Amino acid sequence: MRHTGRQGPPAETADGPRGGPAGAGGPGRAQVPVVVIGAGKVAHAAHLREMRDLSQLIRPAAVIDPDPAHRAALMAGFDRVAVCTSAEEAVWAGARAALVLSPWWTHRDAVIGCLEAGLPVLCEKPVSLDLAEIDELIAAERRTGVPVTAGYMKRHDPVVQLFVEHCRDNAATARRISVDIHDPNAPHLVDHLVPYPAPPYGPQPPAAREALGRALGPGASGTQAEVYARGLGGSLIHQVNIVHAALEGTGRTLHGSLEHSVQWAGGSAVSCRWRPDDELLVEVSHLRLPEHRRYRETIEFTGTDTVATLTLPSPYARDEGATLHIDTWEPDTGAATRTTHRSGPAVTGFREQLRAWTRSIAWSAEAEAEADAGGLPAPRRGIWPLPGLREARADTLAVREAALRLA
């Protein structure tokens, strides 16, 4: 294990000074040192960028990544980072939690290693596209008592939360939920955020193809595997999670109610339709359109007397936020009311996710301290309500069924 990293004066950010001493998390809040497992594109384009601005809450104490360039790029932006090869080494280096940001087919081994080492985990989506692996992770979480949070960062945007609450409040009158995504998935969206040449968009690597074969079974076609890995499992699984959250408590689920799924444009576009009951239709579409300059996402809930329209920018954008329009009609007079909610600039799902997760980790640490002092540990408030493995399993069930039924 090597300790290295850049030394220099702290820089001021919107959230306070950077580079303070370990544990300087502000009044009543300890800074959470984490091990970053996987320092690739999503780490640099999202999580590490937010961590630099939230240094009073969270800092990388260790990094695990087989690529020296990835490790060097991370350590160039943070002080006192240890290079480790296992979760156990990261604990010795001071890590108290883990961010698993490596490719999805590596998540099973990484997460189990962290749970065995006692490290609470925030795991990027998809947690896994293999249901058997998710079941193993659920069993490991139960066995160790260490929680895993699924990286559904959109769920932490305050405007998305308002949308979900509106859907729940009007679930009895729900008639349609639609999702429409135009995704460039092109270099101009993230290359400027990654401090080394990002790998080009291309075929799945051999390890991913093997993992997809296990996840879908031997009868799956190459097109089904490609769409499962990208349009369905790589993108729409986020929105499937939002739909499941909106329908929570209603008894409605997507798995088992699929009417059709279809791919076109060589697998770069996919659309699915579910009918959870006779009253409700759910339709989702993802189109990869490299020529488009901007990412566009629209989720709309239609009830008998209301329409809620949520629009979201690229998850990597900081110069614009989510917008929610809620239209309602009075049943007697027909009078219409529109309410609009907007997230401010830089109120990103990634940032709010790190805030929520570090709060949960801090509470866990307080509970452990009480237990060590001979008292009974308090409930881990703020941990279990975060999206977890059981939600990830329900979402994977739905998108896997859609992949295997692709026309």
**CATH number for the domain harbouring residue 266:** 3.30.360
Residue 384, in any domain of the structure? no
Phi, psi for residue 356 in degrees, rounded to 5: -65, -40
The pLDDT value recorded for residue 368 is: 54
* Structure confidence by residue, pLDDT tens digits, 235-290: 999 999 999 999 999 999 999 999 999 999 999 999 999 999 999 999 999 999 99
What parts of the chain have a pLDDT lower than 70? 1-29, 363-385
Residue 329, in any domain of the structure? yes
249 and 137, same domain (yes or no): no
CA-angle at 75, arms to 203 and 353, nearest 5°: 70
Domain stop point among 127, 151, 175: 151
What is the amino acid identity at position 302? T
Domain stop point among 136, 151, 166: 151
Find, among 65, 48, 44, 225, the residue nearest to 130 by Cα: 225
166 and 142, same domain (yes or no): no
200 and 319, same domain (yes or no): yes
Phi, psi for residue 61 in degrees, rounded to 5: -95, -20
CATH of the domain at 111: 3.40.50.720
Q: Which domain holds residue 206?
A: 155-347+394-404
The pLDDT value recorded for residue 189 is: 83
The pLDDT value recorded for residue 11 is: 31
CA distance 267 to 178: 20
The pLDDT value recorded for residue 363 is: 61
The pLDDT value recorded for residue 367 is: 52
43 and 135, same domain (yes or no): yes
For residues 326, 332, 335, 341, the Cα torsion angle rounded to the nearest 10 degrees is: -20
Q: Cβ distance 226 to 384 under 8 Å? A: no
Residue 95, in any domain of the structure? yes
The pLDDT value recorded for residue 366 is: 54
* Structure confidence by residue, pLDDT tens digits, 364-400: 555 555 545 544 344 444 334 699 999 999 999 999 9
The pLDDT value recorded for residue 28 is: 46
The pLDDT value recorded for residue 373 is: 53
Give the chain's domain count: 2
